[in-house]
Structure 1
Amino acid sequence: MFQPKPEKGTSAFHGEIGHGNMLDGAGFSPTEEEEEEETSSTNAAPAVIVEKPRDEVAILIEGKVRDTPSFWPDCCIYKVPQRFRRGNEEFYEPRVVSIGPYHFHQGSFPQMQIFKLKYLEAFLSRNELSLDQCLGRVRTWEAKARRFYVDLIDLSSDEFAELMLVDAIFVLELMIRHQFFEYVDNCDRIYRKPRMIEDVFHDVLLIENQIPFFVLEGLYDLVDNSSKGTLKFFVELTHEFFKASVKINEFGADRAPVPGVNHGVKHFVDFIRCYYLPTEDEKHEYGHRFYEIPPSVTALEDAGVKFATTSTRSLLDIQFNRGCLKIPNFRVDDWTETVFRNLIALEQCHDDHQVKYISELMFLMGCMIKTSKDVDLLIEHEIISSMLGSNVDVSTLFNHIGQGVGLGQPYYYFSLCKKLNAYCKTPWHRWKPILQCDYFNTPWKVVSTIAAIVLLVLTLVQTICSILSL
C-alpha cells in the first residue's frame, strides 16, 4: 500500500517510528523546536576544521632526527670506551702527532703540523706529483672515508679532504723513510731525534689515530716505482714497517702479505690483529656456554704441569697435551701494553669480531699470571722475554690489561682451560711432584727412600708371619 512521503524536516526513519511503532500506547513525533533546529543545521555552511598548533618540542625532536648521521657497516675507527680509557689515557691518546680527525684541533701539535707539510713537500717533489692530482683523488674517497669513523666528523668537505691528504702522505713518507733511510736528510726532525720517532711510532699504533687503509694504499699507488724498491704493494711496506716492533716477522707463509690481493684490512690496528689470528689448523675447540678460569702458573707447576715454548705461527696457539703446556714466546717491552690495549679496544667495539681472540688471550694470560713468581717460572722456561724493569711490572701489566674486557661467545680457550683444571684436580698429579721434590730429587734420597720402603715391607712381612704362627 502506498505510504505518504515524509514531510519536510522529517526523515523516513522518523516516519516509520511515528506511524508504525508505539511506546507506552502513544506515537512519537518530533516537537516544533526539534524541527526548527534540524532545519537550521541542514541549511548551515560546512564547519571549518581548525588544526591544532604543533608542539614545539615535537618540531625540535624532528629536526634532531633529521640531523642525526647515518650509521654504516664500514665503521671501524672508534673512540676508546671510558671503562678502558679511565686511568690509562697514555695508551690511547697521541703524544706528539694527531692522525685523522679524532684528535684534530686548531693549534694541536703545532710543531708537528710543520713537519707534516715538510714531508708532504718532499713526497710530492720526489715522485713528481702535483698537489691538485693528489687532492683530486682524495676528494673522490671522501664519502667512503667518512663512513670509517664512528663519531660524526664536524669538518667541511674542504677541511676533511685537506686533513686526509696531509695526514695520509705524512704517514706514507714516514714509512718510506723508515724503509729507505737515504731519504732521511740532515734536517729531518723525526728520524734524527730518537725520542721523537719512538713517540711518533706510538701514535701510529693508536685506534683513535687511524687513516683508512684504502686511502693510504691508493696514494701509495701514485708513488714512483723507483722509490718503492722491491715493495711494490702497500701491504708489503706496512709489514716491513711494523714487523720488528710488534713481532709479526716470525709468522709462517700463510700469514705473509700477498701482493695484489684485497685483504680487507681496515687500518693499521686491524692489520696487526690479522697477523695474530690462528690458521684453520691452529684453531681450538670452542665453548659456547660458559668460561672456565685456568689455574695460575704456580698452581700448574705444583700439579706437575711441564712448561715449554714453541716457535708456532700464531701467538694464540697455546696447547696442553700429556701434562705439557706449550706457550709461544711472548716478548714484553715498552710497546706491548700500547699494542695490545688498542687491539683489545678494536675487538671490544667492532661487531665483526665474533671471536675476540686478542681479548681472550690477554684474559687467559691474566688468569695464569697472578704474581711475580708466575712470571719467574715463565721466564725460566723461556716463554716470556721481558725487557721491562722488573717481573712485578710484567705481572702488573697482565693483571691490568684485561680488566673490563668482554669475551663474548664462543670462548676460544674453553677446551684448554677445561683440560688444565681437570689435570690439576687429579690427586695423583698433585702427589707426584711432591714425591719427586721430597724423596727423589737426589740420588741419596732415592737410595734412602728405597731402603725405607724395603725395610717397611720386611717389617710388614715379619708381622704377618708372627700373626700366622700363633
Structure 2
Amino acid sequence: MEQHKVWYLKLLLERRKESSVERCVATIRQLEEKARKCYAEDIQLDEDEFVQMLILDGCFIIEFLHKFQHTECRDEDDLIFQYGHIQIQLLLDLMVFENQIPFFIIHCLFNMIKISDGDNINYLISPLLQNGIFPVHDLPEVPIHGHHLLGIVHDIQCSSFAKILSHLQSGNTDNMANVNSAVELKEAGISFKKSEDISSFHIEFNKKAMIIPEWEISDSTESLFRNLMAYEYYLTGSPQKYVTDYVFFMHCLVHSPEDAKLLRRCGIISNFLGSDEMVFHVIHKLGKNIIISDEFSYSNIFKIVNHHCGRRRNRWTAVLRQKYFNSPWALISVFAAITLLVLAIIQATFAILSYCNDLKMGI
C-alpha cells in the first residue's frame, strides 16, 4: 500500500501538470504542529516524516474516493479496482478509528489539487455515507471543521436524530429497567413496524406499536458500529452517545435468533449475513460491555413500554398467549375446550329450563 500511495501522489501531480510535491510540502509543513496536537499520543516521527505521512495518506484518500466514483479515471493496472472486495475493505479502513488523519489536512490538500471543477468535498466523501449503516439519500453539507472522516460520518448520520431529540423531553437512566425482547413484547401485545422516517436512529412507540427504522446488517456492520462507538467514547463535552444508545436498544430487543427473525419479518432488519442466528450474534457482540449516555436517548420509550408491560391486564394477556396460544395445536385445544364448555352450559341451561317447565305443568 505504501507503493500505491506514492503512485497515487504521482498521478495527482501529473494531472495537475506539476513536477514536484514541494508546494504541498510547504503548505502542510505550516500545519504540522496543529496536526500533531490532534493525536492523543506523541507521534514518533520527525517533522519531515510526519509531513510526508500526512501528504501520502491525504492524497491517497482523495485519489481513491475520486476513482471510486469516476470509473473512467481508473487505470487498467490498478489492482485496487480490479477486485471489488479490496474497494470495500478500503472504505472500511477509512472508518477505522486508529486510521484517521485530521480532516483539515484532507480539506487543504483537496483544495490544492482539486481534480476537476465539478468535484467538491461533499461529493468526495459520499461513498463513506453509503456504507450500509443507514444510507444517506440526500447528501448534506459536510462540516469542514469536523475532526476526521469518521467523525464527519458520525455527525451526519446522527444530525437529524439530534434535532428531533432536542425537541423531546430528555430522560436519565435513574431507576430505568431494560425493555423485554422483541418476542416477549409481541406476546404482551406490542407490534413492530418499519419506520419511514429519514432519521436513522429515531424510534417511536405509538398506539402499542414500536416503530423502528430499517437496519441493514452485513459483514461490515460490526466494524463500522464499533468504530463509531469508539469515537463517541472519546468525545468530550457531549452527554449523548447516539450510536451507542441505539445499539443498546437493539441489543435489548434481540435476545435470540427468534427475536432477529421477528424484526426481519417486520422489515426492521435487512439480513445480508445469511441467517437470523448470525444477526443475533452480531448484535449480541456489539451490545456487550457498552456504557450508554447519562441522558439515554430512549429512556422515555423504555419507561412507556415497561409501564405497558407492567399493567395487570397486559401481563395476563402475555401469560395467556405464552401458555395457550403459542402453537396451532394449543390454540385448537383451547377453542375445543371453550366449545365443549359452551355446549355443556347450553345443555345444563336447557335441562334446568325443562325441569322448571315440568314443575309448572305439575308433572
Give the structure-2-normalised TM-score: 0.85
The CA distance in 2 between the partners of 1:461 and 1:420, in whole Å, is 47
* 1:417-465 deviation line (CA, Å, top 9, x unaligned): 111111112232244464794899999x989958955874895798799
Structure 1 pair 224/149, CA: closer, same or farther in 2 (3 Å)?
A: closer
Instruction: Answer yes or no: is 1:121 the counterpart of 2:4.
Output: no
Structure 1 pair 458/263, CA: closer, same or farther in 2 (3 Å)?
A: farther
The CA distance in 2 between the partners of 1:317 and 1:356, in whole Å, is 13
Corresponding position of 1:138: 28
The CA distance in 1 between the partners of 2:177 and 2:306, in whole Å, is 8
Structure 1 pair 329/248, CA: closer, same or farther in 2 (3 Å)?
A: closer
- SS of 1:286's equivalent in the other structure is coil
Letter in 1 for 2:124: L
Superposition map of 1:235-314 within 5 A: 235-238=122-125, 240-250=126-136, 256-258=139-141, 262-277=143-158, 278-282=161-165, 284-290=168-174, 291-314=176-199
Q: How many residue pairs align between the two structures?
A: 348
Question: Contact 2:165/2:297 (CA < 8 Å) preserved in 1?
Answer: no
- SS of 1:280's equivalent in the other structure is helix
- SS of 1:320's equivalent in the other structure is strand
Corresponding position of 1:74: none
- What stretches of structure 1 of length at least 5 have no aligned partner? 1-111
- SS of 1:221's equivalent in the other structure is helix
Instruction: Work out the percentage of aligned pairs sharing the same amino acid.
Output: 24
| Alpha-carbon offset, residue 154 of structure 1 | 1.4
Instruction: Answer yes or no: is 1:380 the counterpart of 2:261.
Output: no
Q: Which has the larger radius of gyration?
A: 1
The CA distance in 1 between the partners of 2:180 and 2:189, in whole Å, is 12
| Alpha-carbon offset, residue 166 of structure 1 | 0.8
Structure 1 pair 439/343, CA: closer, same or farther in 2 (3 Å)?
A: closer
Give the structure-1-normalised TM-score: 0.67
- SS of 2:80's equivalent in the other structure is coil
Match of 1:390 among 272, 275, 278: 275
| Alpha-carbon offset, residue 178 of structure 1 | 0.6
| Alpha-carbon offset, residue 247 of structure 1 | 4.3
| Alpha-carbon offset, residue 333 of structure 1 | 0.3
* 1:275-311 deviation line (CA, Å, top 9, x unaligned): 2210423554322242321111111011111110012
Question: Contact 1:242/1:248 (CA < 8 Å) preserved in 2?
Answer: no
Question: Contact 2:5/2:57 (CA < 8 Å) preserved in 1?
Answer: yes
| Alpha-carbon offset, residue 332 of structure 1 | 0.2
| Alpha-carbon offset, residue 390 of structure 1 | 2.0
Letter in 2 for 1:286: S
| Alpha-carbon offset, residue 342 of structure 1 | 0.3
Question: Contact 1:363/1:402 (CA < 8 Å) preserved in 2?
Answer: yes
- SS of 1:331's equivalent in the other structure is strand
Corresponding position of 1:345: 230
Higher mean alpha-carbon deviation, 160-169 vs 281-290, is at: 281-290
* 1:131-176 deviation line (CA, Å, top 9, x unaligned): 1111111111111111111111111111111110111101110011
Superposition map of 1:166-185 within 5 A: 166-185=56-75
The CA distance in 1 between the partners of 2:297 and 2:58, in whole Å, is 36
The CA distance in 2 between the partners of 1:203 and 1:439, in whole Å, is 47
4+ runs deviating over 6 angstroms:
438-443, 445-448, 460-467
Structure 1 pair 420/177, CA: closer, same or farther in 2 (3 Å)?
A: same
The CA distance in 2 between the partners of 1:304 and 1:457, in whole Å, is 32
The CA distance in 2 between the partners of 1:191 and 1:427, in whole Å, is 61
| Alpha-carbon offset, residue 201 of structure 1 | 2.1
The CA distance in 2 between the partners of 1:454 and 1:315, in whole Å, is 54
The CA distance in 2 between the partners of 1:245 and 1:303, in whole Å, is 35
Structure 1 pair 138/246, CA: closer, same or farther in 2 (3 Å)?
A: farther
Structure 1 pair 466/361, CA: closer, same or farther in 2 (3 Å)?
A: farther
| Alpha-carbon offset, residue 319 of structure 1 | 0.8
Question: Contact 1:169/1:219 (CA < 8 Å) preserved in 2?
Answer: yes
Question: Contact 1:356/1:408 (CA < 8 Å) preserved in 2?
Answer: yes
Match of 1:190 among 62, 68, 80: 80
Question: Contact 2:97/2:227 (CA < 8 Å) preserved in 1?
Answer: yes
Cα RMSD, aligned residues only = 3.1
Letter in 2 for 1:320: F
| Alpha-carbon offset, residue 399 of structure 1 | 1.1
Corresponding position of 1:366: 251
* 1:41-97 deviation line (CA, Å, top 9, x unaligned): xxxxxxxxxxxxxxxxxxxxxxxxxxxxxxxxxxxxxxxxxxxxxxxxxxxxxxxxx
Question: Contact 1:116/1:166 (CA < 8 Å) preserved in 2?
Answer: yes
Question: Contact 1:285/1:412 (CA < 8 Å) preserved in 2?
Answer: no
The CA distance in 1 between the partners of 2:265 and 2:162, in whole Å, is 29
- What stretches of structure 2 of length at least 5 have no aligned partner? none
